[in-house]
Amino acid sequence: TDVIIESSVGYFTEGPERKDDIVKAKQEGKELTKEEKQRLRKEKKQQKKSKEKKDDKPSRDSEKEKKPASAASPAPQTPTQPPAQKAPSAAPAPVPVPASETPSAADKPAKSKAELKAERRARQEAERASKGKKGDVGPQAAPGKPKAPPSELQPVVKRLPEHVQVDNPEVLKKLAKKLERQQIPLRSDYGYKVSLFSHLHQYSRKAPLTQQLGIPSTVIHPAIVRLGLQYSQGIVAGSNARSVALLHAFKQVIRDYTTPPNEELSRDLVNRLKPYISFLNQCRPLSASMGNAIKYIKKEISNIPSQCKEEEAKRKLLNCIDCYINEKIVLAAKAIAKYSIEKISDGDVILVYGCSSLVNHILCEAFEKNRKFRVIVVDSRPRLEGREALRRLVQKGINCTYVLISAVSYILPEVSKVFLGAHALLANGYVMSRVGTSQIALVAKAFNVPVLVCCETYKFCERVQTDSFVSNELDDPDDLIVTRTGTTQLEHWQEVPSLGLLNLVYDVTPPDFVDLVITDLGMIPCTSVPVVLRVKNVDQ
């Protein structure tokens, strides 16, 4: 019996082949088939985006129960099976656990994972024993995504991006479960986190997620593995660069994709992309632009008609992606440059911060159109991205000055305009950008220097944030360790119990400090961002 169950586990834990299970499951028992059928039904519902049906509650409850069941093993709920079930659940469990032990600095994360698994197993057995299908499952699914609640019918369900909650053990458990189901290793946090930001992930660059993957990885396409590594090592950085790299990787995935038999491309491909997205999210948290790009691709895929042949469908999708890149990034940059050049007059002194591909493009275009101006590049540690911007501008022949951010109040009386790039524009008009941007905007406001933010519309996000704490990204704290003349003071910072290093990536600028936002739709005030979002939603 053990042999049979293990082989069936092998089938059940592989995501794309779940549908084949139905045939095999029919031989195993009635409850299993019902479970599989319900899972299918749930997927159908999700993809048709239909409203809640009457049998949603029992199906959802059983589906919620399915999740804890499937995580360990998809064996049926009969009480006779649990001892046999422990054996197969132990089989997949040791595989990820020792893998995560090796690279991480402490043993604690691995142990807690095993603890979590034991807890989960115990809870499942308790549930199965009591056969309480309704109440118990509720709290477990409580910290779930904001999907439509069972009792209400919502015509438009806007799925806002979740806030990361690393210090909430329930949310962590759910995440671990989800990753295990998708067969993606969980990346463990590194080092002591400053208490205000303990709800965010903090990863070490020396421990990339790819070390925990087997070779060859059966679940994740190699282009995505490469992309994840490029993100986590900072080789591909910058909002536009990351989105474009993501879209190119997805194009490769689509090219190599073949529809399994008895499957529809529109549904299966979306499911295939989900583990990739989780993987990339583990390598480096997704940016707002990447989120919008993914939403677009998923929509395009699910809109492929079922009678479309595979070759044609793939060609269509590749075309869509090319169009998206062309329209939203390349042409948008040209439009923004056209509007911005009107705002650059001769004799201007323009201040830029860090390296924004869009702002650099605008300045190069303006220089080619023979505007006479000079640029002051402000830079900051530890990324020192301003040096890249400086290199690009000087190559064109633009007159540049380079300062660090500590000198910004010294240099501002000379400045006539400030051009800033943005990572995302939030729905309440706040600008999310590289850390230091809000500081520059604040000082510029104090000196009455106009601040212009340049941002394409595909970076507009539905999220609302008023401070930089709630949702941010923590970079590797080891980046802050400086070595001068061979000595570092902070080398052993982990040993000092009261010391924490904080390497924030983003911050949020209020709209009062921003005078103008230049988008591909034109020049708008910061408070018009929700109007643009509303129009975009109506268009879609």
Q: What is the binding site for another protein (CB under 8 A)? A: 343, 345, 417, 448, 450, 452, 512, 515-516, 523-525
- Smallest gap from residue 515 Cβ to another protein (A): 6
Q: Report DSSP state, residue 326.
A: I
Radius of gyration of the chain from its Cα atoms, rounded to whole angstroms:
26
Work out how close the CB of 450 gets to another protein at its nearest, in angstroms, rounded to a whole number: 4
**Is the peptide bond between 216 and the residue preceding it cis, with omega within 30 degrees of 0?**
yes
Residue (390 or 415) nearer to another protein, CB = 415
Q: How far is the CB of 228 from another protein (least distance, A)?
A: 41
Closer Cβ to another protein, 345 or 489, answer by number: 345
**What's at 455, amino acid-wise?**
C
Compare residues 253 and 444 and give the one whose CB is closer to another protein: 444
> What is the Cα–Cα distance from 535 to 520, expressed in whole angstroms?
14
Shortest spacing between CB 523 and another protein, in angstroms: 5
Question: Which of 209, 425 has the CB closer to another protein?
Answer: 425
CB of 457 to another protein, least distance (A): 17
Q: Determine the length of the chain.
A: 540
User: Which residues lie below 8 Å from residue 77, measured CB to CB, with a gap of 6+?
Assistant: 31, 69, 128, 131
Phi and psi, residue 403, nearest 5°? -135, 160
Q: Check the CA dihedral 40-42-45-47 and report its sign.
A: negative
Alpha carbon 23 to its chain's center: 35
Work out how close the CB of 525 gets to another protein at its nearest, in angstroms, rounded to a whole number: 6
Which residue, 276 or 339, has its beta carbon nearer to another protein? 339
> Which residues contact residue 121 at a Cβ distance below 8 angstroms, ignoring those fewer than 6 apart?
72, 86, 89
Pick the closer one to another protein by CB: 81 or 528.
Answer: 528
Report the side by side order of strands in the sheet with 506-509. 424-425, 431-434, 506-509
Residue 316 beta carbon to another protein: minimum distance, rounded to whole angstroms = 30
Tokens 């480096």 correspond to 284
User: 341 or 481: whose CB is closer to another protein?
Assistant: 341
Angle CA(294)–CA(222)–CA(96) in degrees, nearest 5?
95
Task: State the minimum distance, in angstroms, from the CB of residue 146 to another protein.
Answer: 32
* Residue 153 in tokens: 């019918």
In sequence order, the 6+-apart residues with CB closer than 8 A to the CB of 195 are none
Minimum distance between the CB of residue 231 and another protein, rounded to whole angstroms?
A: 36
CB of 424 to another protein, least distance (A): 22
DSSP character at residue 234: T
Q: What is the DSSP string of 160-222?
A: PPPPP-TT-HHHHHHHHHHHHHTT-PPPPP-S---GGGTTS-B--TTS-GGGGS-SS-SSS-H
Nearer to another protein, 322 or 512 (CB): 512
CA-angle at 205, arms to 185 and 385, nearest 5°: 135
Nearer to another protein, 32 or 451 (CB): 451
Instruction: Give the integer Cα–Cα distance in Å for 239 and 233.
Output: 15
Q: Which is nearer to another protein, 37 or 369 (CB)?
A: 369
